[in-house]
């Protein structure tokens, strides 16, 4: 089976260019085939017919000259024949070699030479390159060499270029009209893709379905889906606010009651349980809320990184900060700063909990923003990294997310923040520090 995978390298990537290619390649192919058939059939046929006429005229001139013995009579007859046939004729003793002197792509000249050779049935030579728009035909006769200077239009059809000219002009006009029409049909699809991409990054932009029926139906379906998702997020946030209030009230009463109780081992254990419950409740609410209602705005990601590192260093953590930017003229990124700060804080907190040395690297390119958090801790085995991104997951003892009072939601919240920005959180092994390497990538 023939494989056409190599064509993918040369195929355009956007829909408009591919549609134009699908539209114009068959049209151009048909025109090329039609023009080739026309030129090979019609033009060659006209050339052969005109060449036969010229061959008959030259045969007539040679036969008249060969009937005369006197040189002056031949010259007089040659002048008369030149006027009657509208040809420029000369008679001399020039020697020539039989053949044709043609241009590289002179198809009509080759056809004319073949017809003249068969019509005249004498040694001839055809030259189409020495003079512009003039063909030189030499015929060997019994009284010398007859040389004829013929305008090219006497043998070659003078208007085949008109077909090509009209074809090119008509194709250009129709291609322009088709391109404008096709662009108008594809613009709604492109707008739908842009709005969908913006919604994936947390931005709700104005969109009005238009275009063909199928495109309008897809746009209407997207708007309905977006409305349902936004309503669901709003209802979830409202519900969680109520749940937060309802659960914190009894916890507050419990803490107050314990503060009034007699100190002792049982009381201290109960206080720790209440504190743990409050911490778990805060983590659960942060994960469920996901900062989904925060507005996206232009933010300096380097400022977020410096703030996080400063806070950790104030708490005594050993954190190194590296920053690299390929767009110093454009230092901001459209994102939700509170959500990204929370995700980055979770990654750094996990790194300081399980490692002694932590490094935060920020790299900003024209297409993406990356935060990379590395530590020298035990890391996470490769077969458990996907499990570590799930909420409330429990890993083995090497790196238990529930150790140290954690409820196992730090990585889950970071991954959720990355997804709501259209990005992803990737866990790897740090080649430099030996521990975990967490890459938070957000497209620009």
The 10s digit of each residue's pLDDT in 178-209 is 888 888 888 888 889 888 888 877 777 888 88
CA distance 24 to 5: 21
Predicted TM-score (pTM) of this structure: 0.53
- Specify the pLDDT at position 361: 94
CA distance 176 to 227: 39
Q: What are phi and psi of 297, to 5 degrees?
A: -150, 160
Domain residue limits, the chain: 12-158, 239-288, 295-443
What six digits make up the tokens of 350?
Answer: 């996990």
CA distance 128 to 322: 75
Q: Are 115 and 48 in contact (CB under 8 A)?
A: yes
What is 32-95 written as a DSSP string? HHHHHHHIIIIIHHHHHHHHHHHHHHHHHHHHHHHT---HHHHHHHHHHHHHHHT-EEEEE---
Tokens 């390929």 belong to which residue? 326
Fold of 295-443: Heat Shock Protein 90 (3.30.565)
Neighbour-count burial for 359-372, b at 16+ CB within 10 Å, e otherwise: bbbbbbeeeebbbb
CA distance 61 to 64: 5
Q: How large is the C-alpha radius of gyration of the chain?
A: 44
CA distance 337 to 290: 13
Residues 6+ apart with CB under 8 A from 76: none
pLDDT over 70 percentage in the chain: 87
The DSSP secondary-structure symbol of 368 reads E
The domain made up of 12-158 is a member of CATH 3.20.20 = no
The DSSP secondary-structure symbol of 290 reads T
Q: What are phi and psi of 441, to 5 degrees?
A: -110, 130
**Low-confidence spans in the chain with pLDDT less than 70:** 1-8, 39-43, 157-163, 237, 240-241, 244-245, 283-294, 392-408
Q: Where are the beta strands (DSSP E) in 105-178?
A: 124-131, 134-141, 144-151
Q: Are 235 and 208 in contact (CB under 8 A)?
A: no
Question: What architecture does CATH give domain 239-288?
Answer: Orthogonal Bundle (1.10)
């Amino acid at each position: 089976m023939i494989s056409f995978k190599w064509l993918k390298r040369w195929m355009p990537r956007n829909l408009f260019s591919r549609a134009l290619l699908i539209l114009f390649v068959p049209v151009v192919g048909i025109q090329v085939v039609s023009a080739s058939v026309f030129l090979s059939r019609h033009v060659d046929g006209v050339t052969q017919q005109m060449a036969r006429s010229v061959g008959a005229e030259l045969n007539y001139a040679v036969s008249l000259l060969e009937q005369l013995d006197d040189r002056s009579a031949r010259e007089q007859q040659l002048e008369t024949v030149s006027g009657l046939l509208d040809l420029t004729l000369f008679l001399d003793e020039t020697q020539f070699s039989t053949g044709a002197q043609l241009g590289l792509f002179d198809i009509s000249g080759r056809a004319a030479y073949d017809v003249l050779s068969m019509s005249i049935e004498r040694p001839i030579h055809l030259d189409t390159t020495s003079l512009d728009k003039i063909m030189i035909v030499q015929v060997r006769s019994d009284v010398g060499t007859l040389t004829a200077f013929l305008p090219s239009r006497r043998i070659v059809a003078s208007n085949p270029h008109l077909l090509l000219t009209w074809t090119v002009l008509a194709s250009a006009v129709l291609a322009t009209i088709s391109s404008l029409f096709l662009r108008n049909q594809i613009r709604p699809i492109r707008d739908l893709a842009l709005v969908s991409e913006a919604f994936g990054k947390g931005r709700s932009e104005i969109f009005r379905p238009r275009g063909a029926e199928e495109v309008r139906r897809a746009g209407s379906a997207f708007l309905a889906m977006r409305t349902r998702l936004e309503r669901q997020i709003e209802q979830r946030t409202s519900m969680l606010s109520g749940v937060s209030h309802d659960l914190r009230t009894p916890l507050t009463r419990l803490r107050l009651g314990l503060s009034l109780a007699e100190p002792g081992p049982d009381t201290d254990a109960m206080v720790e349980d209440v504190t743990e419950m409050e911490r778990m409740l805060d983590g659960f609410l942060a994960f469920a809320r996901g900062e989904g209602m925060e507005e996206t705005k232009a933010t300096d990601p380097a400022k977020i990184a410096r703030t996080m590192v400063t806070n950790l260093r104030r708490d005594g953590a050993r954190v190194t900060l590296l920053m690299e930017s390929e767009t110093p003229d454009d230092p901001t990124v459209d994102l939700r700063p509170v959500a990204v700060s929370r995700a980055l804080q979770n990654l750094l907190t996990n790194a300081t909990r399980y490692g002694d040395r932590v490094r935060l690297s920020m790299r900003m390119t024209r297409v993406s923003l990356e935060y990379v958090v590395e530590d020298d801790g035990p890391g996470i085995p490769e077969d458990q990294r996907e499990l570590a991104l799930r909420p409330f997951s429990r890993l083995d003892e090497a790196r238990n997310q529930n150790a140290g009072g954690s409820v196992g939601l730090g990585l889950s919240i970071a991954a959720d923040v990355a997804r709501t920005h259209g990005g992803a959180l990737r866990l790897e092994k740090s080649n430099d520090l030996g521990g975990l390497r967490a890459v938070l990538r957000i497209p620009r």
